[in-house]
């Protein structure tokens, strides 16, 4: 179990100092697939490097199973990394690369050899043991990097955007692979990516970051259906953000009203909001298009665009207050026609900002 406690990381001095991480705290459960997600510059890679030991935090602690490891050099931490550009040693064969960690730990040769074999089998590269690294394709190099990092059986495996250099098809394949590996080995995976689709597909937990701070932590479902802030709602999936008026709270549900509409009880990110204008997240696939005169319609607007993609259509509707909303529907509607939008109130979500 990894605990990050109030970790701050500043680079540079004085007025040129850059704060990459500002007082970040989180807990990574043992044996989970934990993803750090965010746009570039958000600090996710910095956090990963702090866990690996390539940087020391400016402040704060990093605990592994209760032990403070934040000040230790990388070679003293039972943590291994899969690098973005793999960093396979060019002057060593595949087998020697994979066995490198165990070699440095001075394990007996028999153990090293059998582990190398086992690891290469695990990533399905058994026949390539004797090859030189530059003879491998990108996907193969990636798997060697994985095998190399798994061979010493670390407590934690860190993956720094390992799939970003692969083409789409390989990526999808590797995503499944990684998930399988994590399940089989039971090792805690900490995965860094900027691709929200990847994060949703693979993770047990996602921590979304931006500008050196943690924005939201939760399971993929939670993050998708109950985003707390506009940033998160925007970042994950396709979402619409519409305006509404907050009237009051009933328990932890919010009483809101769309323009000219009747009050609705919907889930909210925070009960600390004051009555007044708020933003509501609305997923395109939860919207049903109805007649504008229908009284189940929550919002009304004009269809300004429609894109057919075979399985359905993506419609763009401009609401009365100017906000444009994407809706995913099965049958398209005529451009220019006035329609109503309706969805299950449980699918709406009031954001905290």
Partner 1 sequence: MPGASRISRDANTTLLMAKKERSRQTRRARFLLLLPVLLVIGIFGLFPLSIALVYSFLEPGTYGGVEWVFSTDAYVQFLFERDIFDDTLTFNSAYLQIFGRSFGLAFITMIGTLILGFPVAYFIAARPPEQRNFWLFAITLPFWTNLLIRTYSMLLIVRDEGIVNLLLINMGIINEPLEMLYTDGAVLAGLVYSYLPFMILPIYASLEKFDFSLLEAGHDLYASRVQVFRHIIIPITRPGIVAGCVLVLIPALGAFITPELLGGGKKLMIGNLIALQFGAGRNWPFGSAAALILMALVLISLLISLRVGAAKEGSHG
Partner 2 sequence: MAKLSSLFSRSTGSRELRKQPLFTGMSWLVLFMLYAPITVLIVFSFNDNRSVVRWTEFSLRWYSAALENDDIRDAALISIQVAFTATFFATIIATMAALATTRSGQYWGKSASIALINQPLMIPEIVTAIATLSFFSILRHITGVTGIGWLILAHTVFCVPFAYMPIRARLTDMSVTYEAAAADLYASPLQTFRYVTLPLLMPGVVAGAMLAFVVSLDDVIITLLVAGPGETTLPIYILGQIRRGVTPEVNAVSTILIGVTVIMVTLTFFLQRKRK
d(CA 24, CA 69): 16
Q: For residues 90 and 336, which CB has a smaller minimum distance to partner 2 in the complex?
A: 90
Q: Is 346 in the site for partner 1 (CB under 8 A)?
A: no
d(CA 257, CA 248): 10
How many residues interact with partner 1 (rule CB under 8 A)? 12
Span near partner 2 by CB under 8 A; candidates 122-130, 148-156, 288-296, 308-316: 148-156
d(CA 150, CA 146): 6
- Which residues have C-beta within 8 Å of that of residue 163, sequence separation ≥ 6? 142, 170, 171, 174, 175, 193, 195, 198
Q: Is 104 in the site for partner 2 (CB under 8 A)?
A: yes
Q: Is 249 in the site for partner 2 (CB under 8 A)?
A: no
Which partner, partner 2, partner 1, none, binds residue 274 by CB below 5 to 8 Å per kind? none
Q: For residues 104 and 346, which CB has a smaller minimum distance to partner 2 in the complex?
A: 104
Spatial contact of 162 and 142, defined as CB atoms under 8 Å apart:
yes
DSSP state of 88: -
Shortest CB 147 distance to partner 1, Å: 31
Q: 67-68 and 18-28: which strand pairing?
A: unpaired
The single residue among 38, 43, 57, 152 that binds partner 1, judged by CB under 8 A, is 57
Q: Is 169 in the site for partner 2 (CB under 8 A)?
A: no
d(CA 89, CA 141): 11
Q: For residues 123 and 149, which CB has a smaller minimum distance to partner 2 in the complex?
A: 149
Q: Is 315 in the site for partner 2 (CB under 8 A)?
A: no
| 3 state DSSP class of 129 | coil
d(CA 174, CA 85): 15
28: number of Cβ within 10 Å: 22
Q: Is 53 in the site for partner 2 (CB under 8 A)?
A: yes
CA nearest neighbour of 233 among 243, 248, 223: 223
**Contact track, partner 2, 121-140, x by CB under 8 A:** -------------x------
Which partner, partner 1, partner 2, none, binds residue 85 by CB below 5 to 8 Å per kind? partner 2
Shortest CB 210 distance to partner 1, Å: 25
d(CA 260, CA 263): 10
Q: What backbone phi and psi angles, to 5 degrees, belong to 42?
A: -80, -15
Which partner, partner 1, partner 2, none, binds residue 59 by CB below 5 to 8 Å per kind? partner 1
Q: Is 25 in the site for partner 1 (CB under 8 A)?
A: no
Distances (CA, A) of 103 to 45, 72, 77, 154, 291: 28, 21, 16, 14, 70
How many residues interact with partner 2 (rule CB under 8 A)? 24
Q: Is 68 in the site for partner 1 (CB under 8 A)?
A: yes
Shortest CB 25 distance to partner 1, Å: 11
Q: For residues 59 and 243, which CB has a smaller minimum distance to partner 1 in the complex?
A: 59
Which partner, partner 2, partner 1, none, binds residue 57 by CB below 5 to 8 Å per kind? partner 1
Spatial contact of 254 and 298, defined as CB atoms under 8 Å apart:
no
The single residue among 10, 83, 257, 314 that binds partner 2, judged by CB under 8 A, is 83
Q: Which residues bind partner 2 (CB under 8 A)?
A: 52-54, 73-75, 79-81, 83, 85, 87, 89-91, 100-101, 103-105, 134, 148-149, 152
């Amino acid at each position: 179990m990894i605990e990050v406690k109030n970790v701050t990381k500043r680079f540079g001095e004085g007025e040129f100092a850059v704060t990459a991480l500002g007082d970040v705290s989180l807990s990574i459960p043992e044996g989970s697939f934990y993803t750090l997600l965010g746009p570039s510059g958000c600090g996710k890679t910095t956090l990963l490097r702090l866990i690996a030991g390539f940087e020391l935090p400016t402040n704060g602690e990093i605990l592994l199973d209760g032990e403070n490891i934040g000040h230790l050099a990388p070679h003293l931490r039972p943590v291994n990394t899969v690098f973005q550009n793999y960093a396979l040693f060019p002057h060593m064969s595949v087998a020697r690369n994979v066995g490198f960690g165990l070699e440095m730990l001075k394990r007996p040769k028999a153990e090293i050899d059998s582990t190398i074999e086992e690891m290469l089998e695990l990533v399905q590269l058994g026949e390539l043991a004797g090859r030189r690294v530059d003879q491998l394709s990108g996907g193969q190099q990636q798997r060697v990097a994985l095998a190399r990092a798994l061979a010493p059986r670390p407590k934690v495996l860190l993956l720094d955007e390992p799939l970003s250099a692969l083409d789409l098809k390989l990526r999808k394949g590797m995503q499944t692979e990684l998930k399988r590996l994590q399940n089989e080995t039971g090792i805690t995976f900490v995965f860094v990516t900027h691709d929200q689709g990847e994060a949703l597909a693979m993770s047990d937990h996602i921590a979304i970051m931006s500008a050196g701070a943690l924005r939201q932590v939760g399971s993929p479902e939670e993050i998708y259906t109950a985003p707390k802030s506009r940033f998160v709602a925007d970042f994950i999936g396709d979402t619409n953000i519409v305006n509404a008026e907050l009237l009051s709270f009933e328990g932890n549900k919010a009483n809101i009203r769309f323009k000219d509409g009747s009050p609705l009880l919907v889930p909210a990110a925070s009960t600390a909001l004051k009555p007044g204008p708020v933003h509501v997240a609305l997923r395109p696939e939860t919207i049903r298009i109805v007649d504008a005169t229908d009284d189940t319609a929550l919002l009304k607007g004009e269809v300004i665009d429609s894109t057919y993609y075979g399985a359905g259509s993506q419609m763009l509707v401009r609401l009365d207050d100017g906000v444009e909303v994407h809706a995913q529907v099965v049958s398209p509607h005529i451009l220019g026609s006035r329609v109503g939008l309706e969805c299950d109130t449980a699918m709406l979500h009031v954001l905290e900002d």
